[in-house]
Structure 1
């Protein structure tokens, strides 16, 4: 069994040899294959707040059923739901430990020849940056994941979590360039088939597919997740920010449409993240506490330390302590650098 230091070295080598998170995850899955016998996989990166998939490296046999898996994820309380793994602190689960209780196992995995599944939340510093899911097929000589394989993945999880955090934050330094006012729209039927789209939407869809190595006919995971969540939440509109390497962040918004003959459709809006959306995202992405966010917003307005202290009902020394932690989390040395890194560079004036 490989220890944490060994996985750290392998991870660093994969980081060095990859240009983005997609390539890194591909390489790490292949490294894992040297020590664990599995037949299929899906390794996603997630939005740390909603835990939606914002891109995945997926083996083809799973790609074929991924949409069904996403639908079950949000529509049913099942064994090892991704959110449940994170919120419970369990972080990893083997389906064969409770497969008789799983609708996903009976309705999706077994009909497609799979006998077992491991789901692992790739956590670092209390945040989930992705999920690793491994599958075994019934024809495999060892059709159920063994305890030592489970333990090996437990060792790997924080290593990959830390690496995915670094990739996640590196994209904060980038910004998608589009013309003001531009927007893309995609219309889907209830089965997520594309009915029509605008030219801008076609361009952004191409970016999303390239980000996951998908073909033209495949629907990107963030859109799959948004649609599945929309249907499960009974018409509650969904909004998600998705990182695109070398491009920046785009927004995906999903909502229902109803045709004149009462046929349900889904509208997907695709656009560059607005200043307001980027501000909310950046404050959360750097893991600022609610109080730290308040300090930053006050500081953004040009308010001096003593007035910030008065407005928030705390001492000036406490404000300074908050600022030190904020600088550390964002990776800057002073106020001016913080203002540039979070606000001026993105023309955030709100």
Structure 2
């Protein structure tokens, strides 16, 4: 078993050698195979607020059943759900300890030849930046994970999480080169097969697939997550998910359920380049602003003078000025006008 110092050194090597999170995750997981026997994996990055997947690397045997797994994730209170692992503070679980109680095991994993899984929430500084799931097949010489395997993953978890945080908070200065007109629209049937799409959606769909290293017929994980949540009636249709695309820009995903004239359910996915308003909360996190600094920035965006900001936030004008100095340093600007431009105006 390798200790955390080993994994930190290896993580630094892979971060240096690989320019995007997909390559990084693949390299770390390949190295993990030297110490744990597993037959398949899925490693997803998540939106820290909703725990929605914003992109995953997945072996093909799991890719084939991923939508089924995700549907059960949102449609039932199954063992070791990802949300449960985070909210309970457990963070990691081995399915074979409780597999007889798992609907996921009975209905999906076992019928497809899998005997066990380890699920791990990749947590850093109280935020979940992804999930790592390892699988064993029934025909594996040792079909169940051991406690030592769980302990090795536990050691790796915060190291991977810190690396994914860096990828998640990377500030992308580029704009997407896509059609400027209406929203990108994708229509999917009940089985999540694409029925139709417009030009803009096709362009953005390609970006999302490339972001995960998917083939041109596969459905990106953010869209899978929306479909599963909608079908489980656990999604506000007004919700918009922001997906950073490595070195490209930011895509937003929305979805709603449609009914055909013969009462068949369809799902409409809306894809767009993120607006400045949608990007602002993400950028405030990316620049590592404190909660109070975020409040000050929001006031500045409204054009409110220092004295009124102080009154609105219940602090002194001197304190507002101190916050602004730190904000300017973090965002690397000289004044309010540059701050508004860097966080908002330049994305119009």
Structure 1 runs not aligned, ≥5 long? none
Give the TM-score, by structure 1 length: 0.92
Task: Answer with 194-203 or 177-186: which moved more.
Answer: 177-186
Match of 2:228 in 1: 228
Match of 2:48 in 1: 48
Match of 1:82 in 2: 82
Helix, strand or coil: the match of 2:271? strand
* Superposition deviation, residue 228 in structure 1: 0.3
Q: Could you say if the C-alpha distance between residues 335 and 79 of structure 1 is closer, same or farther in structure 2, counting changes exceeding 3 Å?
A: farther
Give the TM-score, by structure 2 length: 0.93
Helix, strand or coil: the match of 1:178? coil
Match of 1:282 in 2: 283
Query: Retained in 2: the 8 A contact 1:94–1:117?
Result: yes
Q: Could you say if the C-alpha distance between residues 114 and 171 of structure 1 is closer, same or farther in structure 2, counting changes exceeding 3 Å?
A: farther
Helix, strand or coil: the match of 2:144? coil
Structure 2 runs not aligned, ≥5 long? none
What are the residue-to-residue correspondences of 1:54-93 with 2, within 5 Å? 54-93=54-93
Match of 1:195 in 2: 195
Helix, strand or coil: the match of 2:84? helix
Query: Retained in 2: the 8 A contact 1:171–1:245?
Result: no
Task: Answer with 70-79 or 293-302: which moved more.
Answer: 293-302
After superposition, what is the alpha-carbon deviation per residue over 1:212-265, rounded to whole angstroms, capped at 9, x for unaligned?
111122111111011001111267314211111121111111101111111111
1:294 corresponds to 2:295: yes
Query: Retained in 2: the 8 A contact 1:171–1:244?
Result: no
Task: Answer with 277-286 or 86-95: which moved more.
Answer: 277-286
Task: Answer with 82-91 or 178-187: which moved more.
Answer: 178-187
Match of 1:117 in 2: 117
Query: Retained in 2: the 8 A contact 1:255–1:266?
Result: yes
1:256 corresponds to 2:257: yes
Match of 1:245 in 2: 246
* Superposition deviation, residue 167 in structure 1: 1.1
Helix, strand or coil: the match of 2:188? strand
Question: Which contiguous aligned blocks of 4+ residues in structure 1 show a shift greater than 6 angstroms?
Answer: none
Helix, strand or coil: the match of 1:170? coil
| CA distance in 2: counterparts of 1:24 and 1:220, whole angstroms | 19
Match of 1:346 in 2: 347
1:34 corresponds to 2:34: yes
Helix, strand or coil: the match of 2:170? helix
Q: Could you say if the C-alpha distance between residues 2 and 280 of structure 1 is closer, same or farther in structure 2, counting changes exceeding 3 Å?
A: same
* Superposition deviation, residue 297 in structure 1: 1.1
Query: Retained in 1: the 8 A contact 2:122–2:158?
Result: yes
* Superposition deviation, residue 334 in structure 1: 5.2
Helix, strand or coil: the match of 2:54? strand
* Superposition deviation, residue 75 in structure 1: 0.5
Q: Could you say if the C-alpha distance between residues 327 and 102 of structure 1 is closer, same or farther in structure 2, counting changes exceeding 3 Å?
A: farther
* Superposition deviation, residue 325 in structure 1: 6.0
Q: Could you say if the C-alpha distance between residues 179 and 189 of structure 1 is closer, same or farther in structure 2, counting changes exceeding 3 Å?
A: closer
After superposition, what is the alpha-carbon deviation per residue over 1:61-80, rounded to whole angstroms, capped at 9, x for unaligned?
00010000110011011111
Query: Retained in 2: the 8 A contact 1:186–1:196?
Result: yes
| CA distance in 2: counterparts of 1:40 and 1:301, whole angstroms | 50
Query: Retained in 1: the 8 A contact 2:257–2:268?
Result: yes
Helix, strand or coil: the match of 1:249? strand
What are the residue-to-residue correspondences of 1:152-231 with 2, within 5 Å? 152-231=152-231
After superposition, what is the alpha-carbon deviation per residue over 1:72-92, rounded to whole angstroms, capped at 9, x for unaligned?
011011111111111111111
Query: Retained in 2: the 8 A contact 1:235–1:256?
Result: no
| CA distance in 2: counterparts of 1:257 and 1:209, whole angstroms | 24
